[in-house]
Amino acid sequence: MEGGCTCRNVRYRLNGRPMIVHACHCTWCQRETGTVHALNAMYEAERVEHIAAEPEIVDTPSASGKGQKIARCPRCKVAVWSNYPGAGPAVRFVRVGTMDDPSWCPPDVHIFTSSKQPWVMFPPGAKVFAEYYDRREVWPVEAQERWRVLRERMKKT
């Protein structure tokens, strides 16, 4: 899978499938995206290969008070991924809408739905959580193993 910004200055290649795809309905994501939810595919940073210009990293506030870093194209300013304090630079939350074919990454889970817009409806069988969830109960086994390996690596740095 490949993707990038609107002007094609920043381009990336994703190696493999994401660990999980979140549709986040929190009010911060609504404000930052200008729509009803953010749709982020969670990848280890080394699985996001830069194939064109480097994005600029913009520090922004967040509801947690810890902020987040948003990677934006220095030309067109489109956000291509975010890093959150919990995982830092080791994990990239790739904006699914910046993929060349976003249909490859439908949401696995809807989170922070307690603040969703009242007219947003979920398909039958969707995994929906008022706030967050327990990763061990939601993630596939392969994704949990990738997360475990990543966490071990992060402890060593």
The CATH number covering residue 56 comes to 2.170.150.70
108-117: per-residue pLDDT in tens?
Answer: 999 999 999 9
Distances (CA, A) of 112 to 21, 37, 130, 132: 14, 10, 5, 6
C-beta of residue 30 within 8 angstroms of C-beta of residue 36: yes
Query: For residue 37, is pLDDT > 80?
Result: yes
Exposed e or buried b for every residue in 135-149, given b needs 16+ CB within 10 A?
eeebbeeebeebbee
Task: State residue 61's pLDDT score.
Answer: 73
**Strand ranges inside the chain, DSSP E:** 2-4, 11-14, 20-24, 38-44, 48-50, 56-60, 68-72, 79-83, 91-95, 109-111
Query: For residue 62, is pLDDT > 80?
Result: no
State the pTM of this model.
0.92
- Structural domain range at position 33: 2-156
Report the pLDDT averaged over residues 33-59: 94
| Of the candidates 37, 62, 40, 42, the residue with the CA atom closest to the CA atom of residue 114 | 37
How many folded domains does the chain comprise? 1
* Higher pLDDT, residue 38 or 155: 38
- pLDDT band per the 50, 70, 90 thresholds, residue 24: very high
88-107: per-residue pLDDT in tens?
Answer: 889 999 999 999 999 999 99
Query: For residue 31, is pLDDT > 70?
Result: yes
Query: For residue 82, is pLDDT > 90?
Result: yes
d(CA 148, CA 143): 9
Q: Which of 32-46, 50-64, 71-85, 123-137 comes out lowest in average pLDDT?
A: 50-64
% of the chain with per-residue pLDDT over 70? 97
% of the chain with per-residue pLDDT over 90? 82
Report the pLDDT averaged over residues 42-62: 92
C-beta of residue 32 within 8 angstroms of C-beta of residue 26: no
Task: State residue 84's pLDDT score.
Answer: 85
Residue 47 CA, distance from chain mean position: 13
